[in-house]
Structures are given as C-alpha cells and as structure tokens.
Structure 1
C-alpha cells in the first residue's frame, strides 16, 4: 500500500502527462509534499520561514511575506529538470540535469547559504535539499548526463567553468564574473583538475583556467581534460 501511495501522491504529480491524470483522479486532494518542497514553495511566493514544528505527525509552520513572488513559470519538477544558469556573454541558459533535490529546492539556495555557508569543495554540508536517490545519482555522475544535450546544442563545451546559478555566480568577485562570461561553461570543470577546497581556491582555479584558455584554447582544454579524467578515475574525485 505504501508503494502505491508513494507513487500516486509523490511521483505522479511530478511527471508530465501523469500529472494531469493525478489531478483528474484526485482533484489535487491529499497531495503529499516533502518538507523541503513546502519551504521552497513558500520562498518562491515571497515568504520566509519563521518557525516550524512537527506535532502528531503533522507539520505546522509560521511564515511572513517579505518580498514579491519569484516563481519560474518555466520550471520543471519531474525527474528531468532544466535549471537557469549563467552562460557565455552573461546569457541565461537552461541546463538539463536529472533531479537530485526535492522540488522547489532551487528557491532555498540563498537561505541555505546564509545558514550553512560553503563546505570544502564549494558545496553545502549535509544539504537537506538532496534526496536519497539524488545522492546516489551525484556519486555516480548520472545527474549530469543530460547536460550532453546542452553540449550538442553548443551552449556548453566538454571542458569549461561550471555553469553556475545566478546566486552562486554573485558570490564571485566582479572581475572573475566578467572573465567567466567570456567563455562557454563546460561539462568537466577545472575543479576536477585542481581539486580546490575553498570558494576562494575554486575562484582562483577557474581564473587560471580561463586565462590559459583565452591564450591557447585547444591545448588548455586537452590538458585539463586529461588531468581531470585522471583525478576522477584514479583518485576517485567526486562532487559532494
């Protein structure tokens, strides 16, 4: 019964096509949402969470509205998602990935950053937005496979700086922001060649790569490709 309930109330509403069937059957009643999705929905509507408490297996929360809604009408909440990322010349590109976070998690990035800052490798420690299966996808690189489509369309290349969200991009110094948009983002970032630990080291790593790339594009990408491949295959470098 649990499996059927899980598929009907959690999976169907997220999958295109099945979503219409779900609302036809249930009229939207008794829809199951994860705690993270609830907070993300609140945030995208302009609310911030004040407090929450679980009482008798029911989640109660208090939120106040602090800003205008920032809902993305083109967002995708199924297993295959499209994320807004800063591309070449500052253009916003839609990067394809397999979902590793709960729906509406992208609206919580700034909130999580304020609460936790960044850990080693430039990621959040114990990020509550990542689902169990999402963690497996990340460890096995499965989540980034759809980005091959972006590579085929010419929006990204094989080696290049990581395509960043606008919030993450805003954390970079302005000089590096301007430098980043001179090249296309890449599927394999210089991170895996240099293995930096802090955000400052990540920024410095990307800055070195871009300066080298602008002088010798082909040679630079070849060098970084083989160095990153060695770290990934031999040293088991992974994105956390």
Structure 2
C-alpha cells in the first residue's frame, strides 16, 4: 500500500465538553476523495481541522514529514482550502486576496493571471469584495485554492452557488492538478457520488475515493 499523503492520528475536535469530531486513525493515500454527509453532519468542521485552520487535539502528518501541530505554517502552505460559503472583509478586492495568497504560497503550478482568465473573474477581480455575488465569491475562493504548489486541496461543497457553465472547468482543474501535479483532493458533498467507489467511515460519514 502507498504511503499516506495525510495521516490523521488521535484527532479530536470538541466544543466545550461536546466532542464534535473523533478520528482515531485515518490514512489517505494519493487520490481524489469525496466526504459525504448531510447538512450539519460536520463536514466543514472536518475540512477546517484537516486544513489546520481550527485547533484540535492529536495530529495530522502530511506526506510523512510535515506535522500540522508542530509545523503549522509549512503545513498550511501545502494544504489549500476553499470554504463552502466564503467570507472576506468587504473593503478588500479579489486582487488583494490573490496577491496575499501568491506571497504566502509562492509560485503556482499554473500562472495566476491565466487562472484568473480561465475562471472568468477578471471582470470583477479589482472590485471590493462587498460588491460580489455569492457566485463571484465562490469563484475567487476556488481561484485561491489553486494557488501555490499544494500537495492537498480541500474543496468544501464546491458545487453550491457555482454557475453551471463553470462546473466542467472545475472538474477539468481537479483532474489536471491531480494527474499532472500530483495533488490529492478531498471534496465535500451532501449528494451521493459514483457507485462502486471506495468508502471509508469517519464519524458515521463516508470518505469516498473515486
């Protein structure tokens, strides 16, 4: 069996005295995964834990070398995350966000200006975020998720609020970054996916490997 890209060990997320998420041991090898569960099942909490964005007990090891708890900055540079319903300060522009991510994440697999054109955000990227529709915000969050040279990209409900014309492009990007650049994806969904996929249980939810 291949070495895990992500190894979740004794991961527990609790709010006050209530345990929200408990994963004793989970190893995800290189692949594209769907995390399935209904609304309120804890998918977003799971994704934010894996992204290293909220505190938890235990540890997550990336590619056998980078510890989320001990090397958080290096870890977050290699694990990108796009929120289901992204929120950004209204006074900044999409181009401000892109500049920040490029500075933080470093050179990308693909040129960021080409990605801006590809995702169709060039028409509004220089406008304040407060003027964006939910669909515009979604496109910017996806653009940011594909910046740098991540080993893992986490997409939380990427299909909601995204226009139907952009769906084939998103699928193409996932396939390209997975096949050409070796990126592992974990994508949440409240809808069933491909029959015959490999399913792993996490807190009653399914992680499905396509």
Q: TM-score, normalised by structure 1?
A: 0.25
Task: Choose between structure 1 and 2 for higher RCO, CA contacts under 8 A separated by at least 6 residues.
Answer: 2
Structure 1 or 2, whichever has the larger Rg, is 1
Comparing both structures, which one devotes a greater share of its residues to helix? 1
Comparing both structures, which one devotes a greater share of its residues to strand? 2
Q: TM-score, normalised by structure 2?
A: 0.28
